[in-house]
Amino acid sequence: MWNEPRNERETFLSGCYSSVLLANMVKTEAPWRPQADKKALEARAQLLADIRHFFARRGVLEVETPILSTAAATAPHLHSLVTTYQGPQAPKEGQQLFLQTSPEHAMKRLLAAGSGPIYQIARVFRNGESGRRHNPEFTLLEWYRPGFDHLALMEEVDILLSLLLGTSAGERLSYREVFHRYLGIDVFTASDKTLARLANVQGFHDVAASGGQARQIYLDFLLANVIEPQLGQERPCFIYDYPASDAQLARIRPPSESCSRPLAERFEVYLKGMELANGYHELCDAVEQRQRFGADLIQRKRGGLSEVPMDKFLLAALEQGLPACAGVALGVDRLLMLLLNSARIEEVLAFPLIRI
């Protein structure tokens, strides 16, 4: 669920940043010591307690699902960490297993089995992600609400943020509105040439793609590098109704009188220029989900990425019947950064990548 693409600048700087930080750390104190101070550890404990209290009062069940899976996230921008299990029930050469990038697939299997509303505070893993706001292992709060659409779930996220961070009611802007406000364009009618020009002005020139894929790359870059830093400076900002090309695991709403384009029923939440959460009105159609997985795998192959197996268990669960629902994933470490006014994710982690 948490599918934020790394922005170009952070990807470029993360290696240099981590090296400098490590060098400074070694000079100043013993590297065996935790990076986060006691205040941060206590704040995390209280934050987790507050989250659990919120969902207990609303009758949402806390669940736990495996970190390991025989399937991986197929999205081209997500890279799973891999391990091999050797032992009973494994083939002679061992069983390849992937560390979860999100608990989404397993939680949807619970929903299909009749769990009702559920949440999980999960440890998740992303290969290749390290920087000011990224660590390859991090904590994700993910929850699902049968009977909700993405708009109803936005309301619940807003309430949770107000309780945890003391924020006022969030601002709502459609994807179309936010591009018009900050770039002065209609994102659905602007030409690929216009998007390329705007991205090039911001320093982006490398697109090894064409057609719709190149267009989506330009849109992602402009959102991450131009628009995102300006969002949610005073209160949370919810961006909703994305282009159908950026649906990921969300439903697509067909064209209507209010919009002549199909729209992905999903949202993202920003505060102080930082993405906090990513939510969907969940896709329930097994046939369409299989097609999207297949399209992801084609893109991975074209990009020279490793081939990964589809999640056959998720597809079987969808065939059985996933209840109409909405789901969202929210970064707990980033919540803590905002609570403590921390500039770097390392400041709120006991042992980030540079100390393991």
Q: Domains, the chain, ranges and CATH?
A: 8-355 (3.30.930.10)
What CA–CA distance (Å, rounded) separates 21 from 26?
A: 9
Mean pLDDT across the chain: 91
Give tens-digit pLDDT for 138-177: 999 999 999 999 999 999 999 999 999 999 999 999 999 9
pLDDT digits (tens, 9 = 90+) for 41-88: 999 999 999 999 999 999 999 999 999 999 999 999 899 999 999 999
Q: Give me the percent of the chain exceeding a pLDDT of 70.
A: 90
pLDDT tens-digit series, residues 228-239: 999 999 999 999
Q: Check residues 28 and 35 and name the one with the higher pLDDT.
A: 35
pTM equals 0.89
pLDDT for residue 205 is more than 90: no
Q: Residue 1: what pLDDT?
A: 58
Percent of the chain with pLDDT over 90: 80
pLDDT tens for each residue of 311-329: 999 999 999 999 999 999 9
pLDDT digits (tens, 9 = 90+) for 103-142: 999 999 999 999 999 999 999 999 998 899 999 999 999 9
Under 8 Å between Cβ of 302 and 173? no
HEC readout, the chain = CCCCCCCHHHHHHHHHHHHHHHHHHHHHCCCCCCCCCHHHHHHHHHHHHHHHHHHHHCCCEECCCCCEECCCCCCCCCCCCEEEECCCCCCCCCEEEEECCCCHHHHHHHHHCCCCCEEEEEEEECCCCCCCCCCCEEEEEEEEEECCCHHHHHHHHHHHHHHHHCCCCCEEEEHHHHHHHHHCCCCCCCCHHHHHHHHHHCCCCCCCCCHHHHHHHHHHHHHHHHHHHHCCCCCCEEEEEEEHHHCCCECEECCCCCCCCCEEEEEEEEECCEEEEEEEEECCCHHHHHHHHHHHHHHHHHCCCCCCCCCHHHHHHHHHHCCCEEEEEEEHHHHHHHHHCCCCHHHHCCCCHHHC
Sheet holding 95-99, edge to edge: 68-69, 95-99, 82-85
Instruction: Choose among 229, 311, 291, 252: nearest CA to 65.
Output: 311
Model pLDDT, residue 282: 98
